[in-house]
Amino acid sequence: MKQIKIDTLFTSIHLSELSEQEQILIKACKEASINAYAPYSNFHVGASLLIEDGEIILGNNQENAAFPSGLCAERVALFHFGSRNSNKSIKAIAICAQNSNGKFTDDFIVPCGGCLQVMSEFQMKQKEKIKVLLYRADEEVMLGVGIENFLPLQFILKK
């Protein structure tokens, strides 16, 4: 038997220590969460993508009574970006969530496995790491550069 150790790297940083562009990305993420359609979970997730030209694309979770038919905030934003068939790259994605009382969560909200796999696919396609910023109520941000920090064993389909 052989054990294999996989390391990941994150930085915990206060919102005020981020670049101005990253702070704007977090603000956009927070605003996106307000428009989430979450009548079943009351868990309003927002995501915002920073594109290489400075454009910000928003996404939020969209629930449905037939639960598998809903979609996470991250994939809403990523698929919107992908549908435009752009040759531009994604520089960063910010993610946050608030409860039904409009209070942001005390914990970092980490993307689900499906969203991480989609993020991984975009990162592989553009051959450039994506920065992930996770926001929580105390204005701390968990920062990871590269999806492999969140999903170290990514599914890759070899042709």
**pTM of the entire predicted model:** 0.94
Q: What is the mean pLDDT of the chain?
A: 95
Identify whether 24 is part of a domain: yes
Predicted confidence at residue 86, as pLDDT, reads: 79
Predicted confidence at residue 78, as pLDDT, reads: 98
In terms of residue numbers, what domain contains 83? 19-149
Identify whether 115 is part of a domain: yes
Query: Could you read off the pLDDT of 68-110 as tens digits, one per residue?
Result: 899 999 999 999 999 997 789 999 999 999 998 899 999 999 9
Q: How many domains does the chain have?
A: 1
Segment 135-156 shows an average pLDDT of: 95
Strands 44-51 and 131-135: unpaired
Instruction: Quote the CA–CA distance of 120 and 103 in Å, as a whole number.
Output: 30
What is the band of 14 on the pLDDT scale with cuts at 50, 70, 90?
very high
Identify whether 76 is part of a domain: yes
First-to-final CA distance of the chain: 30
Identify whether 31 is part of a domain: yes
Segment 23-41 shows an average pLDDT of: 97
pLDDT above 90: percentage of residues in the chain: 90
Query: Where in the sequence numbering do the catalytic residues fall?
Result: 74
Identify whether 60 is part of a domain: yes
Identify whether 109 is part of a domain: yes
Identify whether 5 is part of a domain: no
Residue 66 has pLDDT above 90, yes or no: yes
Predicted confidence at residue 157, as pLDDT, reads: 79
Identify whether 8 is part of a domain: no
Task: Return the CATH number at 86.
Answer: 3.40.140.10
